Structure 1
């Protein structure tokens, strides 16, 4: 995925220092299946995800990323999970602290395909067909399965 322009401009100012960013994960359901893609950069299977642009509503980011990465239109139904990912350090030294907002979404239209090159394969899989997916991704899906559960979150407890 190309680095968003606003991140490039920030990096010019702060170098590789930790940068807090908001990301979204779209857990998209169609019938009893979930939309997943295999990343081109590391081969990992995951849900559609991306970075919230300045001024963009996070739910709109989920819709945009599904169109950009998988060529599908979706409707965001609810927030399923809020958490901070462990600090990520890229090979060039850039450090990022992502707050990830996981949304349960429903498929509206379009046949999934690797639309922008970020994914090498994309499609709907049954929940029993996620064997090569990392546990953290499976957890996001599990928290989004229920249609009307309240959002889960990490933190917020006295230390």
Structure 2
């Protein structure tokens, strides 16, 4: 996965110590021919399907980060509808020993232009899936997509979505 330049500079100073970073997750939904569809990316690092995810740059709001990440990763321009979930994820340790923990903001969005395609090295596939035919995803992504699609306008907070 592409590591932002500012994270690389921090790593030069702090090594593998834990970094807490602002993460974004965009659940992008459109009305398909017969039913709603969700835009998913297949990650190049582990082959998993996920909504569009990324890291906000310094000084960048989460909505701006989600719009940027969607365009970079998928070629699709989006508009944000609302925040759906806030969650501090479990710390992760990467193969090189780097440790990160993400404060993740999940947003519901809809497309306003562009055609879905693999836009960078972070993905190996990008597709619109009818909601009933989505591929398997990690539990946290299934929960976030399900909540975003549910019509429930409450912002969920934490892993259990209180």
TM-score range, shorter chain: over 0.9
| Residue matched to 1:119 | 123
Q: Per the alignment, in what secondary structure is the counterpart of residue 146 of structure 2?
A: helix
Whether 1:129 and 2:121 are equivalent positions in the alignment is: no
Counterpart Cα distance in 2 of 1:146 and 1:85: 22
Whether 1:142 and 2:132 are equivalent positions in the alignment is: no
| Residue matched to 2:29 | 29
Structure 2 residues not aligned, in runs of 5+: none
TM-score (norm 1): 0.93
Counterpart Cα distance in 1 of 2:72 and 2:117: 10
After superposition, what is the alpha-carbon deviation per residue over 1:70-91, rounded to whole angstroms, capped at 9, x for unaligned?
A: 0000000100000011110001
Counterpart Cα distance in 1 of 2:129 and 2:158: 27
Counterpart Cα distance in 1 of 2:134 and 2:151: 20
Counterpart Cα distance in 2 of 1:148 and 1:57: 24
Q: Per the alignment, in what secondary structure is the counterpart of residue 68 of structure 1?
A: helix
Q: After the TM superposition, which segments of 4 or more aligned residues of structure 1 sit over 3 Å from their partners?
A: none
Give aligned pairs, total. Answer: 155
Counterpart selection for 1:96 from 100, 103, 107:
100
| Residue matched to 1:105 | 109
TM-score (norm 2): 0.91
| Residue matched to 1:19 | 19
- Over the aligned positions, Cα root-mean-square deviation in angstroms equals 1.3
Deviation at 1:25, TM superposition (A): 0.3
Counterpart Cα distance in 2 of 1:117 and 1:13: 26
Structure 1 residues not aligned, in runs of 5+: none
